[in-house]
Structure 1
Amino acid sequence: MDWDGEPTPFVDADRQILFCLGGFPPDRNGSDWEGDVSKPAAEAMKGSAVQIYTVPRWQRKRAAGERIPRRGGHAAKSVGASMGGGQVKPQNLSHSPRLLAIFAALFALKCFERISGWTNTLFMAFAPDLWKFYRDTLDAVCSHDPTILRNFSQKFSVFSTTTFNFGPRTVTFPHIDFRNLAWGWCAITALGDYDPDRGGHLILWDLKLIIRFPPGSTILIPSAIMRHSNTNIQPHETRFSFTQFTPAALFRWVYNNFRTDKDINASTKTSAAEHEQRRQDKRRRWSEGIKMYRTWKGKVRTL
């Protein structure tokens, strides 16, 4: 699909919006998305990568036989709220004070604030019920535990967590983000200096789609169930990506009234009726979740 960055919803057979090619906002009133947002964000990520890794470590090639992370061999760091892997409650991902200062400097930049705000607008426009579910969940988590920090203010994002894929050549393997909400959306913003006609395309393997993915544009997909990756870029090019998501465990935490499944199942205070209700809720969870997708009534672009 030769996508030009124009916001484009993708619908299923029932015309529900399954995912969204969000693109970037049109330039108007002196605003230049590429010059004001896309390029400065890429330069900021490049500068931060050099601080975090040093140039030799950042640009090095992995040795033969060295273990490569599941999503790919590029440099990446995640920051924000997390839960899972044995955690008994939500926590901020742990980093050194130096790393936290670098992340805080990135989040404070106007370019990342605008990317996050644009992503939030797309999410709210194309999936308002799902957006509200994300907003209410993160609000509940932060209200219950004030030590949980947001990457952006409520005005700009409903996502709890961000991954900076520092590259310098962010080329991912086919994967699913199995810790994310099954019917939820993950936002991917491509950045860097690469020719989108010759590389960096998003591949959605289950749908047999290869989508042109220009720098500065954003795509929102259900990354927990849709296997995805991106194509290689040319040897002299750089590609970064800025992703936003919320772990599924945070939604379970709020549903459980700020407890884990293990705590509820082990508690003598949990009645038989409550156990039965939870079993019924689990059976309905997927069907209720996809009801949060909106029906598209506009024109549909066919491939």
Structure 2
Amino acid sequence: MRVYEWDGVPTPIVDADNYILIGLGGFPDNGTGDWQQEVAVPAADAMQAAAITMYSEPKWRRKMLGKSGKPTPRRGAHASKSAGASMGGGQTHPQNLSLTVRNAAVLASLFALEPFRRIAGFTNMVFYAFAQQLHGFYAAEFDKICAHDPSILRNLPRRLSVFSTATFNFGPATVTLPHIDFRNLAWGWCAITALGNFAPDRGGHLVLWDLKLIIRFPPGATILIPSAILRHSNINIAKHETRFSFTQYTPAGLFRWVYNKFRTDKDIDKSKTTTPQEHEQRRKDRARRWAEGIKMYSKWEGRTRTL
């Protein structure tokens, strides 16, 4: 494994053909001054307060270890809540994720805070800078869903985010186990923003197992990765430290819904009106979509930093 002591400066990670595979977004001012004091620290404080409200503090803190001290959830033993549009797992159409009235109000209050709006806006800008065509695809497809079904709610204004869904990982020690986000778009990106009070030189690093790469991941920084195809996790932090994360993404099922002209695969495959020729064309399209998808990656023409 290689270790990249990333300093938070926006940096692309490119493949052998110089296409940007990962966007190390960092922070607008290299993590010093205003960004830390006005965005990163208040966002972490707000997430901690929200967690205590939703879980009650003792229960929230027990999430650090999980039952019998062993993490059982697939991604790790930390508390988390998601909001936004969902499609998959047998759903017949896109729906807003179900939340209790209290939890919905708490998450809505987080989305309304200036620190999270600044994080989302900066992430949106970085996404556009590193992958303009992919960013445009995300924006256009979610626009179609919202236009088709006005009941689908955006977590944030369109100008701030093209993603349909977000997860607040409340920790208090958000350290994920090795996993892939198999419900996300295969060639798409997921944006991860690290928050909290931890020493990034000693823990919290992002581990990309398939690339055999460990990346220093300081609080307040954002990284965009193809989370459906790269197995990833985090390095542990110290017992007295806290680490939260704010992730933004769009489930693959939403893209399939638009591609199917607002129908599910099951509806089309079982429909008596679907001809054999249409079935064959869909089979060919599925094989071709990956090749078309990775063409949305941008080629980096500038200098690259040595990892």
TM tier, smaller: over 0.9
Residue 221 of structure 1 aligns with which residue? 225
Residue 119 of structure 1 aligns with which residue? 123
Q: Does 1:41 align with 2:43?
A: yes
Number of aligned residue pairs: give it: 302
- Report the Cα distance in structure 2 between the residues aligned to 1:183 and 1:27, rounded to whole angstroms: 28
Q: 1:231 to 1:66 in 2, by over 3 A?
A: closer
Q: 1:180 to 1:27 in 2, by over 3 A?
A: closer
Bigger Cα displacement from structure 2, 54-63 vs 220-229: 54-63
Residue 68 of structure 2 aligns with which residue? 64
Q: Does 1:181 align with 2:185?
A: yes
Paired AA for residue 41 in structure 1: A
Residue 279 of structure 2 aligns with which residue? 275
In structure 1, stretches of 5+ residues that fail to align are: none
- Report the Cα distance in structure 2 between the residues aligned to 1:103 and 1:130, rounded to whole angstroms: 27
Give CA deviations for 1:195-231 in whole Å, capped at 9, x if unaligned.
Answer: 1011100000111111100000000000000000000
Contact kept, 8 Å, 2:8 with 2:30, in 1: the verdict is no
Return the TM-score normalized by structure 1.
0.97
| Map 1:133-148 → 2, pairs under 5 A | 133-148=137-152
Identity %: 65
Paired AA for residue 224 in structure 1: A
Residue 211 of structure 1 aligns with which residue? 215
Residue 21 of structure 1 aligns with which residue? 24
Return the TM-score normalized by structure 2.
0.96
Paired AA for residue 193 in structure 2: T
Q: Give the root-mean-square deviation of aligned CA atoms.
A: 1.5
Residue 244 of structure 1 aligns with which residue? 248
Tell me the CA shift for residue 272 of structure 1: 2.7
Give CA deviations for 1:71-129 in whole Å, capped at 9, x if unaligned.
Answer: 00011111110011110000000011111110110000000000000000011111011
Tell me the CA shift for residue 267 of structure 1: 1.3
In structure 2, stretches of 5+ residues that fail to align are: none
Paired AA for residue 113 in structure 1: R
* Deviation beyond 3 Å, 4+ runs, structure 1: none
1:302 to 288, 303, 306: 306
Contact kept, 8 Å, 2:198 with 2:204, in 1: the verdict is yes
Paired AA for residue 272 in structure 2: T
